[in-house]
Amino acid sequence: GADLKERAKMHSSEVSSFVSRARATINELANLPVPTIAAIDGTALGGGLELALACDIRVAASSAKMGLVETKLAIIPGAGGTQRLPRTIGVSLAKELIFSARIVDGEEAKSIGLISHVVEQNEAGDAAYRRALALAKEFLPQGPVAMRVAKLAINQGMEVDLVTGLAIEEACYAQTIPTKDRIEGLLAFKEKRPPRYKGE
């Protein structure tokens, strides 16, 4: 989250500018054309959780602590939290967590759908990072163009009605048809070998 000691020294105009820049940066992360995974091994409060919410997938240690706690400070989540948390866990539960400034651990976060995977923390303190890395290794062999347009189709489709979403999917699928990677995938399947994608 934000450095609250630094924030206390800021003029109100500086705070607005700071939050605006944070929101823009987090939006850039959300819009990256590749899969993003947040690994939460410790604490993700306020802006830290907003950053994680901008990722496609979240993994946390069972001992991790997460929450949008801004209302304790008489402010609201300002870097996307009021929009991304309800889209992730549902409106009513998001309101409850934001209104109460409640902090949840990894187990509760998994049970409410805030994270995709919960793991027991290890001695090194990097269990979530290791799980995130294993997930990333599952993603790596896939076709890069397909990964980019799949993310685009999902992200854009979730903001519209089903009929429009299906049209978005069709347009995204069309982007994969002329690629060399698509032909490589078919040849690799036919020849019973791993594909060698180049993102073309």
Point out the residues that are catalytic: 2, 47, 50, 70
Q: Put the strands of the sheet holding 43-45 in their side by side order.
A: 43-45, 65-67, 104-105
The backbone region for 77, taken as left when phi is positive above 0, alpha when psi lies in -120 to 50, beta otherwise, is beta
Distance from C-alpha of 172 to C-alpha of 169, rounded to nearest angstrom: 5
Strand partners, 65: 43, 105
Q: Where are the beta strands (DSSP E) in the chain?
A: 37-40, 43-45, 57-61, 65-67, 104-105, 117-119
Whole-number Cα distances in Å, 101 to 58, 77, 185: 20, 10, 48
- The backbone torsions φ and ψ at residue 62, rounded to the nearest 5 degrees and listed phi first, read -60, -25
Q: Both tokens of residue 102?
A: 């409640």
Name the nearest CA neighbour of 44 among 100, 86, 1. 1
Are residues 70 and 101 in contact, defined by beta-carbon separation less than 8 angstroms? yes
